[in-house]
Amino acid sequence: MHRLLLRNLVYSLIFILFASCKTYRLGEVKSFSATQKTIENSYFSSNKDYVYKCQMDIYKNHVSGIVIIKKISETAHRVVMTTDFGNKMFDFEISPIDFKLNYVLPDLNKKMIINFLKNDFRALLRQQYDVNESFTDEKNLIFTSIDQNTSAYLFYDNTSDLFLKKIILTKNNQEKINFIFEAKSPTFAEKIEIQHKDFKINIRLLQITENETE
**25-56, pLDDT tens digit by residue?**
777 888 888 788 899 999 999 998 999 999 98
DSSP string, 40-51: E--TT-SSS-EE
Beta strands in the chain (DSSP E): 30-31, 38-40, 50-58, 61-71, 77-82, 88-94, 99-104, 128-130, 133-136, 140-147, 150-157, 164-171, 174-185, 188-196, 201-207
**What range defines the domain where residue 203 resides?**
2-207
Quote the CA–CA distance of 146 and 9 in Å, as a whole number. Answer: 32
Q: Answer whether residue 214 is part of any domain.
A: no
Q: Answer whether residue 213 is part of any domain.
A: no
**166-205, pLDDT tens digit by residue?**
999 998 888 999 999 999 888 899 999 999 988 778 899 9
Q: Answer whether residue 35 is part of any domain.
A: yes
Q: Answer whether residue 68 is part of any domain.
A: yes
Query: What total of structural domains would you count in the chain?
Result: 1
Q: Answer whether residue 212 is part of any domain.
A: no
**98-121, pLDDT tens digit by residue?**
999 999 999 888 888 888 889 999
Quote the CA–CA distance of 42 and 73 in Å, as a whole number. Answer: 14
**75-95, pLDDT tens digit by residue?**
999 999 999 888 999 999 999
Q: What does the buried/exposed string (b/e) look like for 100-122 if buried means 16 or more CB atoms within 10 Å of the residue's CB? A: eeeebbebbebeebbebbeebbb
> The pTM is what?
0.84
Q: Answer whether residue 51 is part of any domain.
A: yes
According to DSSP H, which parts of the chain are helical?
2-16, 111-125
CATH of the domain at 175: 2.50.20
84 Cβ contact partners less than 8 Å away, ≥ 6 residues apart: 64, 65, 66
